[in-house]
A = this chain, B = another copy of it.
């Protein structure tokens, strides 16, 4: 079967759209309570049917960035059975950052929605 639209090229768009929104997403998930990295990766895939899937190689740098920015605190937990997990928890600064990003996201999507609605009205 010939691939007319070459779906592998399409991947690029998804990749770009995720830019900048990943931090918002992670902060939001953490606002529901503590979580560890691998958990966030699987949660994201499940809860969005793959629409916001990320690889762990993408997520860990995000978490490190958030930690360095003081948005999250880190706690290692080594259970008697099982692999050690690194738990992340939102700080007050992190909550503020979350609200700020939510606002920026809303502003942006509203502007997009307004623009994309435009011609259907004016023509």
Identify the A interface with B (CB < 8 A).
Answer: 10, 12-17, 19-21, 24-25, 28-29, 31-32, 47-49, 51-52, 100-102, 104-105, 107-112, 114-116, 118-119, 122-123
CB distance B13 to A101 under 8 Å?
yes
Question: In the complex, what residue of chain B is closest to A111 when comparing beta carbons?
Answer: B51
Binding site of A, secondary structure by majority: helix, strand, loop or mixed?
A: helix
Assuming the contacts A16-B20, A20-B16, A109-B109, asked whether A32 and B123 have C-beta atoms less than 8 A apart, the reply is yes
Which 3 A-B residue pairings sit nearest by Cβ, starting from the closest? A16-B20, A51-B111, A19-B19
Q: What is the minimal beta-carbon distance from A11 to any residue of chain B, in angstroms?
A: 11
In the complex, chain B residues whose CB is within 8 Å of the CB of A51: 107-108, 110-111
Q: What is the minimal beta-carbon distance from A16 to any residue of chain B, in angstroms?
A: 3
